[in-house]
Amino acid sequence: MEGIGDNRRITYEEAGVSIDRADSLVEWLKKKSKIIGSFSATVKLGKQRVLLSTDGVGTKILLYIKAGKFKGLGQDLVGMVSNDILADGGRMVYFLDYFATFPLNEDWAKEVLEDIIYACKKVGAKLVGGETAELPNLIEKNTFDVAGFGVGIPIKGRFGRIKSGDVLIGFPSSGFHSNGYSLIRRVLEEKKFDPFKVYPELDEKRTLIEILLTPTRLYQRDGIKIFLKFGAKRGAHITGGGLMGNLPRALGGMKAKIYWENIPTPQYMKNFIKLGGIDEGEAWKVFNMGVGFVFIVPRRNVERVLAKFKDAFILGEVL
């Protein structure tokens, strides 16, 4: 593979992102606001419980701009929000977007909005509003940022208490999803990878940028069935911080044993990490490593889940 450069290891912090600083801010905020949730926030409006979540796509947007096409970006945005709501046992029903740019490129905005509408339909939600802002001197020229806000309702009234013997059922990611792209872009720059080239070590047919722009998998429709029919108790959306940073948010203080050998990390992901000079330990802290979502399911229902969902796998068990 051409353009490897030296063997120096590249870190997320060196690329400009500190997971530790972000975690510290979240812990500070939890002390200030007692209703901060795990993946989403649960509040009461009258007698109705609702789940609220907001997120963005991050610097993956810069690769979309480099590619000059935005199909998949809306799904990334909807996925980041709806998957978080799902993790707390909710289904997203309404979605709003925020599009900040300078100057406004209507073609770009329409393509992104079309994809948001398409992704909302895929999860059974509706785009009900949003905001488009032109921000000279704040947003770099010919770039943009997007954020999404989702409103969800509980899938069912009650969820079982997590207990020893419950099983962690993992579902594969579709790729890097929307996390770690500041590190990915640093690798592209430092190792001089051509994103429009096919690297056989990664994929025989897809260019590198096609691999990197694979949109976030939407888990909501399958997740509703797992909560309703198979008694799932909680979920974990594996985003920034990786498996070890997100799984504890679902366990409620319980410990778990992970069957690391069961994790289906794609070969292209392994090779990108290796050839990009990213330490394996760093990769596990930054990327989903092939695990996009985890459900905590009673042991009695595990075989039924595996029979229904052919790509599901046993990730571990609650201790």
| pLDDT tier at 4, thresholds 50, 70, 90 | very low
For range 31-46, the mean pLDDT: 76
pTM given for the model: 0.90
| pLDDT tier at 2, thresholds 50, 70, 90 | very low
Q: Which residues neighbour 217 within 8 Å (Cβ) at sequence distance 6 or greater?
A: 79, 171, 172, 173, 174, 177, 292, 293
Q: Is the pLDDT of residue 261 over 90?
A: yes
Question: How far is Cα 67 from Cα 77, in angstroms, rounded to an integer?
Answer: 18
Give whole-number Cα distances, 285 to 27, 180, 245, 272, in Å.
18, 10, 7, 15
- Helices in the chain by DSSP H: which ranges? 19-32, 60-67, 73-87, 106-123, 181-190, 208-212, 220-229, 242-246, 248-251, 267-275, 280-286, 302-308
- How confident is the model over 150-159, as pLDDT tens digits? 999 999 988 8
Query: What one-letter code names the amino acid at 261?
Result: E
* The pLDDT of residue 5: 43
Q: Which domains does the chain show, CATH number per domain?
A: 37-154 (3.30.1330.10), 167-318 (3.90.650.10)
Q: Within the chain, what is the greatest distance between any pair of CA atoms?
A: 60
Low-confidence winner among 43-47, 75-79, 110-114, 199-203 (lowest mean pLDDT):
43-47
| pLDDT tier at 47, thresholds 50, 70, 90 | confident
b/e map 169-200, b = 16+ CB within 10 Å? bbbbbbbbbbbbbbbbbbbbebbebebeeebe
* The pLDDT of residue 159: 87
- Do β-strands 167-172 and 313-318 pair in parallel, antiparallel, or remain unpaired? antiparallel
- How confident is the model over 120-146, as pLDDT tens digits? 999 999 999 999 999 999 999 999 999
Q: What is the DSSP track for 248-281?
A: HHHHTT--EEE-GGG----HHHHHHHHHTT--HH
Query: What one-letter code names the amino acid at 136?
Result: P
* The pLDDT of residue 11: 72
> Dihedral of CA 73/77/80/86: which sign?
negative
Q: Which residues neighbour 259 within 8 Å (Cβ) at sequence distance 6 or greater?
A: 314, 315, 316
Closest by CA position to 252, among listed 84, 83, 37? 37
* The pLDDT of residue 245: 93
Three-state DSSP state, 314: strand
Three-state DSSP state, 246: helix
- How confident is the model over 291-308, as pLDDT tens digits? 999 999 999 999 999 999
Query: Which pair of tokens denotes residue 118?
Result: 């398409």
For range 27-42, the mean pLDDT: 68
Percentage of the chain beyond pLDDT 70 is 89
Give 143's strand partners.
Answer: 102
For the chain, what is the mean pLDDT?
92
* The pLDDT of residue 204: 92
- How confident is the model over 151-194, as pLDDT tens digits? 999 999 888 899 999 999 999 999 999 999 999 999 999 999 99
* The pLDDT of residue 36: 60
* The pLDDT of residue 21: 65
| pLDDT tier at 31, thresholds 50, 70, 90 | low
Closest by CA position to 276, among listed 165, 202, 198, 221? 202
